[in-house]
Structures are given as C-alpha cells and as structure tokens.
Structure 1
Amino acid sequence: MDKTIHLLIKKPEALDREVRIIVTSMFPDFDLSRYETALADVGRYFAGEQPGFRACDTPYHDWSHTLGVLLATARLMHGVHADRQEFSQRTVDLALVAALFHDSGYLCRENEEGPGARFTRDHVRRSIDLLEEYARSRGWPMEDFMDMECMIQCTDPARSPDAIVFPNFEVMLASHSLGTGDILAQMADDVYLEKLPLLFMEFSEAGITDFSSEYDLFLKTLGFYSLMRSKMRNKLSNVVASMGTHFRIRHGVERDFYSEAAVRNMDYLAELLNNLGEEYASGLRRRLDRDEHPIILAA
C-alpha cells in the first residue's frame, strides 16, 4: 500500500492542523491560544484586513511563504526536541509566533508608498518592529519579545547567525530552526524555480543590483544553494539533520524530504541551464497555483 506524505501543505487549514498535531505530540497539554491568536491576526495583516495596513503585494514573500516557514520550523523543532535538545513549551510557542511575523516587514502601512518589495533590505528590522508593536498591544512580557527578536534575526540573509547574542542555548536552537526552516521552505517548494522570476521582480523593485537579469538570478541560484547548505550545517547548528527524525516519528520514514526536494530542484535547474541556456523558461511548466506535488512512499 502507498502512503502519501505532503511535504509542503498549501491549504492553510490543513497546514494549521498539521502544526497543531506536531506541537501537541510534543506537549499534549500545549496551550495553543497565543499561536491561534497570532495566526489569525497575521493572516489579517497579509490580507489587508488589519486597520492601518494594506494587503501584501510581494508575490514571492507572501502569506503562502510565511505558512510554509511556519510548518518547516515546527517540523524541525519536533526533530530537535526528540533527538538533541528538549524545548520548553514556551520556546516552541514563541518560535511559532516568530515564524508568523518573520516577513511581516514587507507589508505596507496605509501611509507608506508601495510596493512592499522596496523594503527588502530592511524587512527583517521592520518585521521585528511590527512584532514589538503587536506584543505590546497584547501585553506580552518584554522577555518573550526579545527571544522572538533573536529568532527573526536568524532569517536575515545579510546577517551572520554568529553575530546574534542569544539569551540561552535553547533559544539559539529555536532561532536556528526558524532560520533553517526559512531556507528549506523556499528551496524545497515544488514551484521554487517557477517563483524565481517573482523574486527577481522584488529585487528589482528594491533597487538590488546583485543580478543583472532574471537569467543571471537563475545562474547564481546554484551557488546560492551551496552557500545555504553550508550555512545550515555550519552556522545554524546543523538542526537540518533533525528533519529526518521528525518524519520518522510522524510518518515512520527517516528521511529529510525537504533537503531531497531542494536537491531535485537544483538538479533540474542545472539541467535547464545546461540544455536550454537563456531559453530556460521554456522548461518551467508548473503552474504557481497548483496544489502540492505529494511525495509517494511505499508503506
């Protein structure tokens, strides 16, 4: 009999359900109230339903990306909790909220000129600022906010994790889980290559000139993947090694499907560039609005 494992769950209700299953398997009495409130509120931010904010207009760093990072982070923390370091309920709770806010800095307030992509360079700082504003409105302890600030800082591509001061080892591992989840959720996406033109569009709107063309971004993505793989292993405590533990406990198969999917994407990208060159786009055939392509395993 075949078993279907959904790597990237793209229906919000199903993804929320999976996150709940994961955290309550770690802590049967887990208090989901803060997570539930933040999930609903951040969803409204991205939808433009929160007073003073416009809907998200960044096509790459959108609500779907945020939810993908949320799930990858929960899965990683589950694996780390099982085979390396037991987390407290509080730290898991804070990491879920930090994942929800980690790219909220792309959102535009009503009095700001868009598009949101123009905030690419400082979106991490803006995300932290919005989280602080939100935490104060909810009456959360400052200590909670400061721990979540560390977690979000680990998603900053321009900042080395070595430069972040963590209050303790547990928060560091949670932060590294979020930083790793941010990388994996993107590069393992079954439409990652199809979404790269959207990323180039955001870079162009931000005035980032690291890539001379969309083709140049595709060419440099292979090198970027190598850098991210090294970063996950050497700068983010190699928490990526615990992803297989999560899938073993949750699904009975000890494999890191995220890393495997990322490698498949890179292999196909190399094939496209080698065979088609600047006509690479003709080999991108997956629709951005498609459902996830499930991984089928022999049970």
Structure 2
Amino acid sequence: MKKEGVKLYDLVDLTNPQSVLDEIRYIVALMVNNFDHALFEQICADIKMLFEGDFPGYRASNTKYHDLEHTSSVVLAAGRLIHGAFMEGHSFSAKTILLGLIGAIFHDIGFIQTDSDVNGSGAKYTIGHEERSIIFMKQYLSQKSFSKQDLEDCTHIIKCTILSLEIKDIPFRSNDIVMLGKIVGSADLLAQMADREYLEKLFMLFKEFEEAGMPGYGSELELLQKTQNFYKYVALQRLSQGFDNVFAFMRFHFKNRWDLDRDLYQESIIANIDYLKTIVDSCDESYSCYLKYLRRGGLAEKLNYNK
C-alpha cells in the first residue's frame, strides 16, 4: 500500500481488542522498558469481560455507541498521543504512562449496569456517567497495587472527558498528570470523530441521548445537523484551548511509528465533517436521503427505519 493512500483505519483493527493491545505494547516499548505489561493486560482482559457481561455483578454493555470498540479506540488514541508527546521531548515514567492508559480504559465504564439494574439500558447514565466510571475505577484498582494518590490521579484524568468541566477546575498534583488528562480528554474526542463510521454511529448516539433525556436534540437528523457546529464550537475549542493543542502530538507519533508525516486523525475528522456538510445540504429533512448516504456498517439494516 502506498503511504499517501493509507487511512487511519488501515493500521490497526479497532474491532479486535487484541490488535489494539498489541499496538499499545509496541508503542509503550518505544518509550520505556520497565512498563508493567502483565498488569496492564490483566486490566484490559477484565474490562473486556466487563463489557461482554462476564464480570461478576455486572450486565453486558448495551450501549451501541459507547461500546468496547469506542473504549479501545480511545485507549489507542491516548497511547499514540503519549508517544507523540514523548517524541517531542516530554518524559513520562512507566507508572504515569500506565495511569494515563488506565484513565482511558475506565472513562466510560459508568455506562455499564449492575446485575440488579434491569431497567432500560446504560444510556440512562449518559449525564454523570463519568462519576460512575470513577467509582468503579476506585473499587477495582484499590484491589490491585495502586495507591490512593494513583486513584486520585486516575480520577482527575477521567474528569478531563467531562465536556462541561474546565480543566483549570481539576486539582491535578503534577504537570505530568495534567498532560495525561489533556491527552485522554483529547483522545476521547479524536477517536470518536475520526471513526470511519462516525456519521452512521450518530444515529446510535441519539438513541442514547434520547433515553438519557439529553436536551437539544429532538431527532437523529437534528443531531446530525448540529454536529458540524459541535465540531467547530465545542470539540475544536476544547482541543485547542482547554487541552492546549496536545492533539498536535499525533503527527509526531505517525512520523516515528509509521514513517507517515501526517495526522491521520485530523484527516479522517475533516473528511467526516466535509461529507456530513454535503449530506445535510442535500437531504434537508429526508431520513431516506440520509440513509442513502450513510451506508457504512449496514446502518439502514441495523436500525430498520421506516420514515
């Protein structure tokens, strides 16, 4: 494959957690040689069990947007940004790298229901799911070799994924944890908006918003129509101002890891937003028109819309 033709989704299979884990292992080895891979892999295995309904006390994940693939994509994006920052001279210890990756792994666990929670889906926790994620993270990590300070650091990293929370209001203990928080917060935005099926998955995201009673979106089409402004006025503002442009580290990662002097995330996001603009301009309020354009992943068949 020619380098100029490489797309983000050509490099790692995000639907395969083992492929993501293998890539994380490779990336981390480029930075440090004393990383606790066994511990990290055990955490990843447990989280996979949690999403699949095999973790004691919990139901399988039932949110179609915030699923295991989303979590895997955020962890990988965070690992890539950490590596890019490392290539630009930021030094991280093996422990702080681990805490950053753990923050990414646990950031959306709050969507998963306990066995006794049988009403609705985990989407009902959309508002405030981060706090539920933090509670689970603390319970889980406290049973392993993590200190109270480690738990606080992971808490602050996860809080960087709360769009309504200003970074300046999070009491980080060190510059390294600030950087990791900004990296994980950026990874959460980049990973989902760069997804090859991002536009199709917005239909699934609306279903989660609808169950949660999220204001501002009366229909799937309204969510699609407002996504351009979300990108311009929320995501870009957060990435550039709140997170101090740490997303720029992606280019240094791809240059060093893949010999590609490009930011594949930005390329994918821009392609998604440009294509969305074309669809919105063409389709107005026609569901059938949107579904004609949004065919990746078999969306029409999965949702079975008759509108």
Normalising by the smaller structure, the TM-score range is over 0.9
- In 2, Cα distance between equivalents of 1:17 and 1:187: 23
Letter of the structure 2 residue corresponding to residue 20 of structure 1? R
Residue 30 of structure 2 aligns to a residue whose secondary structure is: helix
Matches within 5 A, 1:148-297: 148-226=154-232, 227-279=234-286, 280-287=290-297
- In 2, Cα distance between equivalents of 1:8 and 1:176: 23
Letter of the structure 1 residue corresponding to residue 46 of structure 2? D
Comparing 155-164 with 233-242, greater Cα deviation is found at 155-164
| Equivalent position of 1:45 in the other structure | 50
Counterparts in 2 of 1:205 and 1:27: CA distance versus 1, 3 Å = same
| Structure 1 residue 14 displacement after superposition | 1.3
Letter of the structure 2 residue corresponding to residue 116 of structure 1? G
| Equivalent position of 1:118 in the other structure | 124
| Structure 1 residue 15 displacement after superposition | 1.2
* Gapped regions of structure 1 (runs ≥ 5): 290-299
Counterparts in 2 of 1:288 and 1:65: CA distance versus 1, 3 Å = farther
Letter of the structure 1 residue corresponding to residue 2 of structure 2? D
1:158-177 CA distance string (max 9 Å, x none): 21222211111110001100
Counterparts in 2 of 1:108 and 1:68: CA distance versus 1, 3 Å = same
| Equivalent position of 1:296 in the other structure | none
- In 2, Cα distance between equivalents of 1:247 and 1:131: 31
Match of 2:13 among 9, 27, 41: 9
Where relative contact order (Cα < 8 A, 6+ residues apart) is larger, the structure is 1
> What is the CA RMSD across the aligned residues, in angstroms?
1.4
Matches within 5 A, 1:14-25: 14-25=19-30
1:34-79 CA distance string (max 9 Å, x none): 2111101111111110111000000000000000000000000000
- In 1, Cα distance between equivalents of 2:198 and 2:12: 11
Residue 278 of structure 1 aligns to a residue whose secondary structure is: coil
Residue 108 of structure 1 aligns to a residue whose secondary structure is: coil
- In 2, Cα distance between equivalents of 1:109 and 1:160: 30
Matches within 5 A, 1:63-142: 63-112=68-117, 113-142=119-148
Letter of the structure 1 residue corresponding to residue 238 of structure 2? K
| Structure 1 residue 120 displacement after superposition | 0.5
Q: Would the aligned equivalents of 2:34 and 2:94 in 1 still touch at CA under 8 Å?
A: no
Letter of the structure 2 residue corresponding to residue 57 of structure 1? N
Which stretches of structure 1, 4 residues or longer, exceed 4 Å deviation after superposition?
Answer: none
Give the number of equivalent residue pairs: 289
* Gapped regions of structure 2 (runs ≥ 5): 300-307
- In 2, Cα distance between equivalents of 1:85 and 1:9: 28
- In 2, Cα distance between equivalents of 1:133 and 1:2: 47
| Structure 1 residue 288 displacement after superposition | 5.5
- In 2, Cα distance between equivalents of 1:44 and 1:257: 30
